[in-house]
């Protein structure tokens, strides 16, 4: 396997010696060190041969790149046109690594004639655009599903009016109640989402004690009877004051703890902790569930995104919980981190700036 790199190395070394007095290979290794710093995939080319690929590029394409023809790795016709000079300007290409990712590729010619290929990940921008168009479709789909169930049962009930059909009627009414409440939840969630978004630029000003609020949220959820004593609330700080909106922060805690209860294994513990560190309040909620694959974590806060659609819907989720959490955290100038180990569980951490209250 080593023949191409060695060969190119020699060819390049010969050229370097004739051009200037740099020791052979020094420029390339300098470039390699420099390029590795950048997070986006970068390739340094001599003609069409890859001289140096940085860490990100090697991760994307595999380790074979050095000394190979760049067209082997980037096969997209637009990219070929750009590399051969028949096309100008950056091009949008897909199909590098994961088929869903979209990249913008730009080629810059350096002063010494070598070329630098830069690949910029545009998947999230594209996903954002798609999300907006998908939102209406998703929302109407989510609203229509319970509605069609309701209409179906109403039609059936019109026929099931015999004297001995009481149990059937009761069962149908029960289902109808569940479906109607699901729709109500969904509309409530949609409305809070748009309310939070509307006050996005208005920083909340009330002084809220997150430790106390976490205790209240845990008590409310346990009181609702769905937790079954699974919540363990640890308040490391006796008081954790933030500037906040009480209702929104309470909803955040409800959503996060509710998710942990839903997706944790039955009977497993959900650990809620509130601590202060470096001028921040850190609220962490850990569950012991199946965990979430790392590549799906960025999508969790998308509206109506579900890791496992069937399961989440059967648990009564609206698909908006984490979208609300994200917006509340953003409005409170905080940060949301989700870490997960598949098979072990997920930890969701909300970091909010500690309020300086005299």
Partner 1 sequence: MAMATGHILKSFDEDLAELRALVAQMGGLAEEAIDGAIAALANRDTEAAAAIVEGDRTLDRLEAELERQVVRLIALRAPLADDLREILAALKIAGVIERIGDYAKNIAKRVPLLLDSRGIEPLSILPAMARATAEMVHDALDAFAARDPDAALKVCAQDRVVDDFYNSLFRALLTYMMENPHTISASTHLLFIAKNLERIGDHATNIAEMVHFAATGEQVAERGRGADTLAPVAA
Q: Footprint of partner 1 on this chain (CB under 8 A)?
A: 1-4, 6-7, 10-11, 48-49, 61-62, 64, 68-69, 71-77, 79-80, 94-95, 99
**Among positive and negative, which fits the CA dihedral 294, 300, 302, 303?**
positive
Least Cβ distance, residue 75 to partner 1 (angstroms): 3
Ramachandran quadrant class, 98 (left: phi over 0; alpha: psi -120 to 50; beta: rest) = beta
Cβ distance to partner 1 smaller for residue 80 or 280? 80
- Catalogue the E-assigned strands of the chain: 42-46, 49-53, 91-94, 102-109, 115-121, 206-209, 231-235, 241-244, 270-277, 280-286, 335-341, 345-353
Question: Phi, psi at residue 256, to the nearest 5°?
Answer: -70, -45
The tokens describing 204, both together, are 């909340």
Cβ distance to partner 1 smaller for residue 58 or 262? 58
Least Cβ distance, residue 74 to partner 1 (angstroms): 8
Least Cβ distance, residue 5 to partner 1 (angstroms): 10
Least Cβ distance, residue 156 to partner 1 (angstroms): 26
Question: Phi, psi at residue 232, to the nearest 5°?
Answer: -115, 115
Least Cβ distance, residue 93 to partner 1 (angstroms): 9
Percentages helix, strand, coil for the chain (3-state, rounded to 5) are 50, 20, 30
Cβ distance to partner 1 smaller for residue 145 or 339? 145
Least Cβ distance, residue 14 to partner 1 (angstroms): 10
The tokens describing 355, both together, are 């309020």
Least Cβ distance, residue 42 to partner 1 (angstroms): 18
Cβ distance to partner 1 smaller for residue 68 or 330? 68
Cβ distance to partner 1 smaller for residue 22 or 72? 72
Cβ distance to partner 1 smaller for residue 25 or 353? 25
**Among positive and negative, which fits the CA dihedral 123, 126, 131, 134?**
negative
Cβ distance to partner 1 smaller for residue 12 or 230? 12
Cβ distance to partner 1 smaller for residue 78 or 339? 78
The tokens describing 273, both together, are 């902790």
Taken as a whole, the chain contains a residue count of: 358
Question: Phi, psi at residue 239, to the nearest 5°?
Answer: -145, 135
Least Cβ distance, residue 306 to partner 1 (angstroms): 18
Q: Measured between alpha carbons, how far is 257 from 227 in angstroms, rounded to an integer?
A: 10
């Amino acid at each position: 396997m080593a023949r191409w790199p060695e060969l190119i190395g020699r060819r390049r070394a010969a050229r370097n010696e004739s051009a200037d007095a740099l020791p052979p290979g020094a420029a390339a290794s300098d470039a390699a060190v420099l390029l590795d710093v950048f997070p986006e995939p970068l390739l340094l080319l001599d003609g069409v041969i890859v001289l140096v690929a940085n860490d990100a590029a090697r991760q994307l394409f595999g380790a074979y790149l050095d000394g190979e023809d760049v067209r082997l790795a980037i096969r997209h016709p637009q990219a070929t046109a750009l590399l051969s000079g028949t096309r100008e300007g950056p091009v949008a290409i897909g199909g590098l690594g994961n088929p869903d990712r979209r990249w913008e590729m730009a080629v810059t010619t350096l002063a010494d004639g070598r070329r630098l290929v830069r690949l910029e990940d545009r998947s999230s921008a594209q996903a954002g655009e798609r999300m907006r168009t998908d939102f209406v479709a998703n929302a109407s789909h989510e609203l229509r599903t319970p509605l069609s169930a309701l209409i179906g049962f109403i039609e059936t009930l019109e026929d099931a009016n015999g004297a001995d059909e009481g149990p059937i009627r009761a069962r149908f009414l029960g289902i109808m109640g569940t479906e109607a409440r699901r729709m109500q939840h969904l509309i409530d969630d949609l409305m809070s989402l748009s309310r939070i978004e509307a006050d996005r630029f208005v920083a909340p000003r009330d002084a809220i004690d997150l430790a106390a609020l976490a205790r209240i949220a845990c008590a409310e959820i346990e009181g609702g009877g769905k937790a079954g004593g699974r919540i363990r609330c640890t308040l490391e700080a006796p008081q954790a004051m933030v500037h906040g909106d009480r209702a929104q922060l309470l909803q955040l805690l409800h959503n996060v703890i509710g998710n942990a209860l839903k997706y944790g294994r039955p009977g497993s513990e959900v650990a809620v902790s509130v601590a202060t560190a470096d001028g921040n309040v850190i609220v962490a909620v850990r569950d012991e569930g199946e965990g979430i694959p790392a590549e799906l974590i960025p999508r969790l806060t998308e509206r109506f995104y579900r890791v496992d659609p069937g399961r989440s819907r059967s648990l009564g989720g609206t698909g908006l919980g984490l979208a609300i959490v994200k917006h509340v955290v953003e409005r409170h100038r905080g940060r949301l981190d989700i870490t997960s180990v598949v098979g072990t569980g997920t930890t969701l951490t909300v970091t909010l700036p500690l309020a300086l209250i005299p």
